[in-house]
Structure 1
């Protein structure tokens, strides 16, 4: 019997036959690994510098400030970045962003090696890193669907998530080991990984320039915002992620839990950082082979609810092993909801609009991650790290129930095809 046409074959083998997608996947993995290593080193170094002269609560607040510093440029630049991704060659945009990330990691490596690292310098580099990511995320999100046939898109999204989550396991563990040697080693490793990502993305052969869009830059940005607002499934999905993760950002406080709650040091910090990714990778591996077909909305809401419950367990735990289990469940639940959201959004969005919709999604996700870190730092300043994590988990559960009532179309969303 002849093999089915690749246009209709949606198996993993069919995806692996897409050469440009493979190099894109490698680039995504290397870049994600670099970002994780850099993030671990940045958070640990900030906390270590702050603890030399400040209390636990004040130092936790400064760790949260890294998230705010990275989010400000995302907030200011995301909409122009989406328009850029819909008007210019997306591969070229990624190359320029990776060049900026290489420069930021190299500066941090030099500062750590020469001994002139400081709190203002770390915050300033976080701003530059956020500016590069503001343009990187919409271009990367919009580029992926250009490299695979549409029937393979749900599986490709699962594999994209697998690349990210695998890097999220290896990255924190590698970062923790390297930080135990020195922060300079961790930042130098990030430079090498970013360079690998830049080289592999340049190997994409297909044209990555979107169809030319008429109108001014402001007109195109307004079109993207209007589209997201009118598509209630899209708006509900990305706003649910925004508020749930904004409140439940306990992972931002892991340096505090590792050092002053669980007392496990830098090596334990690396394990804790890997915890969410362990669960997320397990779910991503399953979804890569068994994509969700029906009851997509219910899967998404269920994932966010488990995310909130796991955050509560982590807040109350005093054992590193129970904390790791809670973080693994947290990461797996988040992976499930992210997979459904990304698939829903990309399936209903035309290619000409993907950059701008991805930009709005990036803004919401950036707010949930970076502002979530800031929110955790602020609440930790007043309620302590345990109270902050507990507050976030309960808040995520409340948001889940509220959004299920506000967006019935999202709750009833069925097929991911």
Structure 2
């Protein structure tokens, strides 16, 4: 493999099919969340209802995360993910039925909301297994020397899906309506299933098959807690996402503050992911491994500033630009975090470490949505967003002062070790 080859991981055909699967799955999931956010706010006109959506997904995702990581480490990853995607398709089909005008007329607003919340809750159960499964499968598709590059491309594809999913959701709602947008989601979930099915089964590398559940979970938590690089990266990103969850309030900004409707909502929702996507592709050519800790701290600080700017803005294009900047900085933190996880996690423990990651970072998106909806109810929408961005800045300052070792974190030696 050529040194600093930006396309190293792409030279493995199975990895390309893996990327197609991940794109289709994340595209469907992110599009679905946006469509449901829009539909629920249309039905309720209550910012707290947006928070409840996040809460319904985060409760099972967090509660089952460690158990899911144990299961992933004990099972064949590809088959487990196929079951997860099939279940997601069933949920999307159910949401499609609930958003049909005839269903709304027959069930009424209240029961339709109950049905949406229930399906989102089941989706949270599935998501608890998807994150660890994808993280673990990636390590079985490419050799160790390609891990950093594979992590970058995998994150880039994730961001591309997050760009296009919300954008198509906004435009799809505007042009086609909610039910048709949900039908598109089902189609992309099917595409993810087909791509994953084309990848052969992989070996289970865990040598402790049948290990008692609680002993396995304890081993995973102990490893994360003892590895300060992983723990620091997860904690910092969790706090930033938790308090910087302005994205959950975009339906309110689009309709009530900026007055740009569904079309403008799609642009706002896609803006941060466009910024992150630019960062992702740039990082394939300009690795962020050197002085990774300082870069991560700087990226999260910039993220907090951009969230504050978005909250204070009354101009649509300034708001879109602020969200774009938030995506640029968030993309840096994501690349660094994924690189740390891939480099410092043993193969036999990837499912459990990824489960802890989903508890810290993945689920904090939904918990952040609940926090944003709750604070918007109490403080007002603009104040809630500014408060969240300010808390992010405070977290970075405290981490910088309290953890000089993390500030000096450098991944260059870890990457050189893999090349030898």
TM-score for both structures, normalised by structure 1: 0.94
Instruction: Tell me the secondary structure at the aligned position of residue 74 of structure 2.
Output: coil
- 2:7 & 2:224 partners in 1: Cα distance? 34
Report deviation, 1:370.
Answer: 0.8
Aligned with residue 275 of structure 1, among 271, 275, 279: 271
Q: Does 1:383 align with 2:375?
A: no
Paired residue for 2:25, among 24, 28, 31? 31
- Correspondence for 1:213 among 187, 202, 208: 208
2: CA distance, partners of 1:359 / 1:291: 26
Q: Where does residue 418 of structure 2 map in the other structure?
A: none
- Per mean C-alpha deviation after superposition, the further-off stretch among 147-156 and 310-319 is 147-156
What does residue 313 of structure 1 align with?
Answer: 309
Partner of residue 3, structure 1 = none
Q: Is the 8 A contact 2:27 2:188 kept in 1?
A: yes
For residues 10 and 93 of structure 1, the distance between their equivalents in structure 2, rounded to whole angstroms, comes to 33
The whole-number CA distance in structure 1 between the counterparts of 2:411 and 2:131 is: 26
1:49 and 2:38 are equivalent in the alignment: no
**Per-residue deviation, 1:92:** 1.1
CA distance in 2, matches of 1:405, 1:145: 34
Offset of 1:407 from its aligned partner?
2.8
- The RMSD of aligned alpha carbons is 1.3
Query: Shift of residue 309 of structure 1?
Result: 0.1
Aligned equivalent of 1:350, options 341, 346, 349: 346
In the alignment, does 2:65 pair up with 1:78? yes
Question: Is this contact kept in 1: 2:87–2:126, CA < 8 A?
Answer: yes
The corresponding residue for 1:292 is 288
Q: 5+ unaligned residues in a row in structure 1: which ranges?
A: 1-5, 52-58
The equivalent of 1:407 in structure 2 is: 403
Q: Is the 8 A contact 2:8 2:149 kept in 1?
A: no
Superposed counterparts of 1:102-251, under 5 Å: 102-113=89-100, 114-116=102-104, 118-180=112-174, 181-205=176-200, 207-214=202-209, 215-251=211-247
Q: From the superposition, tell whether residues 242 and 293 of structure 1 become closer, same or farther in structure 2 (CA, over 3 Å).
A: closer
Work out the CA distance in 2 between the residues paired with 1:271 and 1:260. 16
Asked whether 1:364 is paired with 2:360, we answer: yes
Q: Does the 8 Å CA contact 1:147/1:206 hold for their aligned counterparts?
A: no
**Displacement of 1:205:** 2.4
| Whole-Å separation in 2 of the counterparts to 1:34 and 1:10 | 33
2:262 equivalent among 256, 266, 278: 266
Which of 322, 331, 334 aligns to 1:335? It is 331
Could you tell me how far apart the structure 1 residues matched to 2:402 and 2:67 are?
30
* Corresponding position of 2:8: 14
Q: Give the CA deviation at 1:217.
A: 1.4
Does the aligned pair in 2 maintain the 1:380–1:387 contact within 8 Å? Answer: yes
C-alpha distance in structure 2 between counterparts of 1:385 and 1:319, whole Å: 15
| Deviates most, 363-372 or 302-311 | 363-372
Q: What is the CA–CA distance in structure 2 between the aligned matches of 1:208 and 1:60, rounded to whole Å?
A: 46
Structure 1 position 208, deviation (Å): 4.5
Q: Contact 1:10 / 1:151 at 8 angstroms: preserved in 2?
A: no
Q: Which runs of 5+ in 2 are unaligned?
A: 416-420
- For 1:266-300, what per-residue CA distance to the aligned partner results, in whole angstroms no more than 9, with x for missing partners? 11111100010110011011012222231111110
What residue in structure 2 maps to residue 98 of structure 1?
85
With normalisation by structure 2, the TM-score equals: 0.94
Residue 410 of structure 1 and its aligned partner are, at CA, apart by 1.7
Q: Is the partner of 1:318 in helix, strand or coil? A: coil
Asked if the contact 1:20–1:206 (Cα under 8 Å) also holds between the matched residues in 2, the reply is no
CA contact (8 A) 1:29 1:163 kept: yes
Structure 1 residue 154: deviation in Å?
0.9
